[in-house]
Amino acid sequence: MVGDSVAAGGERRPGRFLPVVVLSRCALWRLPRRGQALYFVAIDVLAVAATVLAALRFPPLATMLVPFALLVGGMLVSAELARAVERHREDTLLGPGVDTPWIFAGVLVLRPGLAVALVVLSALHQWFRVRRRPVYRQVFGAAATALAGLVAGAFLTATGGRPLGEVLDARTVVLLTVAGVVFLAVNAALVTAADGPRRPREALPGHAFDAAMTASALPLAWAVEAAPLLVPLLAGATVVLHRGGLGRGRRDHVTLDPGTGVLTAASWRGAAEAELNRLGRHGPGQAVLLLDLDHFRQLNDRYGARIGDAVLRAVADTLRDEVRAADLVGRSGGEEFAVLLPGTGRFDAMAIAERIRLRIASTLVALKASGDGPQFVGVTVSIGVADCVDGLLADALLAAEAAVLRAKAAGRNRTICVEPG
């Protein structure tokens, strides 16, 4: 496909109202099941309505501003420290990951409005600093977590499980534990209703990770109320456990490229092989993208290694933004990247590759200001797309590499897909 090509059917049809055009291009309404899209919207609306009603019934108190500030600060610092791990953590039913202890601690010690504010801040941090999913998935994840927190908070209010005291008696500990189970169960039910149940062998590590993160909220909530000086110590312990891959909540043996933050070549290859083995030879389609930056060596020689490294980081950031959380992104060479797209057929992989190519072509890196004002430099990329037939990664990589060479020979800044056979 040539660099300036346009996907078929992309022109605007006359006589269509603007809202119809907007909805038709929204990723949510392009889901294969319309009932799933309506479910996402319903949960989002329910979360907003429940939050408003709960905040009106139990308005925030001025005395809660200090605990809220402690929880926000600790959550953001912990999330930054664990950002590299979170980017490559396997998806679990409870989305917040390292933010979970802080969010559930907020449920235990704050009024509903402030507790949901923690969920919103966590989602925003994930969007801007960790990894971006489709907007509807990001919003739904936050809505499901907020509803789970509201239900758990309502349980504690109904049973008299709050406020926390300096000494926790047996009844309070039991009620807090049950509230944690309610929090996990409601969130799991909402997510499972959207995506369907997972196989027990795949789901068990994720359940263990979510449960461990939720359990660590109990001492954190007590410390926020009774011993604030202990909060940094508990936060540090939580980050260490998280970075260690507690309950296999993240991909094992992940090694990140220090220059770009994506997987190294060896780590990507191992993770890709493991993913293909997990899916099986005859599972849903798998696709591989190989990307080679055009004329990168000339750019590096002309502007220096600092600008070259900045360009590589910008390309890596673009790749992370444009693929799903379950996709694997790695740096396979000096100016080469590889992406595994599980459960993606050849045509969908081609569309994703084209979107990536166009996004990279429009990405600019600032140079030092000159007399004529700021200057910028950009780069284009040649992409090869191939299917993993029968789960054979080596064959797919060879085919994708041949497609990249064809794209280079055809003029660069192109996407070429290997035809079957």
Distance in angstroms (rounded) separating the CA atoms of residues 247 and 209 = 5
**Spatial distance between the Cα atoms of 215 and 219, rounded to a whole number of angstroms:** 8
Residue 244 and residue 283 in one domain: no
Q: Is 69 a member of any domain?
A: yes
Q: Quick one: 107 and 231 in the same domain? A: yes
Establish if 375 belongs to a structural domain.
yes
* 161 & 241 share domain: yes
The whole-angstrom separation of Cα 219 and Cα 172 is 12
Residue with tokens 């420290």: 81
Residue 403 lies in a domain: yes
Whether residues 158 and 282 fall in one domain: no
The residue ranking higher by pLDDT, 11 or 81, is 81
> What CATH number has the domain bearing residue 270?
3.30.70.270
Q: Does residue 6 have a pLDDT over 60?
A: no
Nearest to 47 by CA among 126, 150, 159: 150
Contacts of residue 291, Cβ cutoff 8 Å, sequence gap at least 6:
315, 319, 336, 337, 338, 339, 356, 381, 382, 383, 404
Predicted confidence (pLDDT) at residue 247 exceeds the cutoff of 80: no
What percent of the chain clears pLDDT 70, i.e. is strictly above it?
78
Token pair, residue 72, equals: 């926000």
Cα distance between residue 139 and residue 134, in whole Å: 9
Last residue in a domain, options 182, 216, 248: 248
Whether the pLDDT of residue 373 is over 70: the answer is no
On whether the CB atoms of residues 305 and 239 are closer than 8 A, the answer is no
What pLDDT sits at residue 89?
60
Same domain for 189 and 282, yes or no, is no
Arithmetic mean of pLDDT, 295-304: 89
Mean pLDDT of 350-370: 86
Nearest CA to 90 among 11, 7, 208, 229?
208
CB 78 within 8 A of CB 239: yes
Helix axes 112-125, 65-81, angle to 10 degrees: 20
11 Rama class: left (phi>0) / alpha (psi -120 to 50) / beta:
beta
Same domain for 100 and 192, yes or no, is yes
DSSP alpha helix (H) spans, 5-33: 18-25
For residue 383, is pLDDT > 50? Answer: yes
Residue of 395, 373, 396, 385 whose CA lies nearest to 418: 385
What is the helix (H) or strand (E) element at residue 155, kind and residue range?
helix 135-159
> Do 55 and 197 share a structural domain?
yes
Q: What is the pLDDT of residues 248-269, one digit of tens each?
A: 444 444 578 888 888 888 889 8
3-state SS class at 384: strand
pLDDT tens readout for residues 177-224: 999 999 999 998 998 888 777 656 556 767 777 888 889 898 899 898
Range with the lowest mean pLDDT among 93-97, 153-157, 243-247, 296-300? 243-247
Write the DSSP string, 53-106.
Answer: HHHHHS---GGGHHHHHHHHHHHHHHHHHTHHHHHTPPP-SSTTGGGHHHHHHH
The pTM score is 0.59
pLDDT at 407 over 90: yes
Altogether, the residues listed in the chain come to a count of: 421
305 occurs within a structural domain = yes
Does 243 share its domain with 270?
Answer: no
Q: What is the pLDDT of residue 8?
A: 32
- Both tokens of residue 40? 């996402």
| Of 9-23, 233-247, 387-401, the least confident | 9-23
Q: Is residue 340 part of a domain?
A: yes
- 145 plus 223 within the same structural domain: yes
Q: Is residue 25 part of a domain?
A: no
Residue type, 244: G
For residues 283 and 357, state if they share a domain: yes
Structure letter (DSSP) for residue 128: I
The residue assigned the tokens 């402030």 is 114
Token readout for 148 is: 């789970």
Query: Could you tell me the two tokens for 161?
Result: 């499980």
Q: Are residues 155 and 95 in the same domain?
A: yes
Same domain, 39 and 188: yes
Coil vs helix vs strand at 307: helix
Residue 335 placed within a domain: yes
Model confidence at 337, pLDDT cuts 50, 70, 90, reads very high
Can you count the helices (H) and strands (E) in the chain? 16, 7
Residue position matching structure tokens 């047996």: 170
Give how many domains the chain has, as a whole number. 2
| Two structure tokens written together for 300 | 């590096």
| Residue 342 and residue 327 in contact, taking contact as beta carbons nearer than 8 Å | yes
Question: What beta strand segments (E) does 274-380 contain?
Answer: 287-293, 328-331, 336-341, 364-366, 376-378
Domain for residue 258, yes or no?
Answer: no
Supply the range of the domain harboring residue 358. Answer: 265-417
- How confident is the model over 273-294, as pLDDT tens digits? 888 877 665 556 789 999 999 9
Quote the CA–CA distance of 65 and 113 in Å, as a whole number: 12
What is the tens place of the pLDDT at every residue in 140-163? 999 999 999 999 999 999 988 766
pLDDT at 387 exceeding the cut of 50: yes
pLDDT at 287: 92
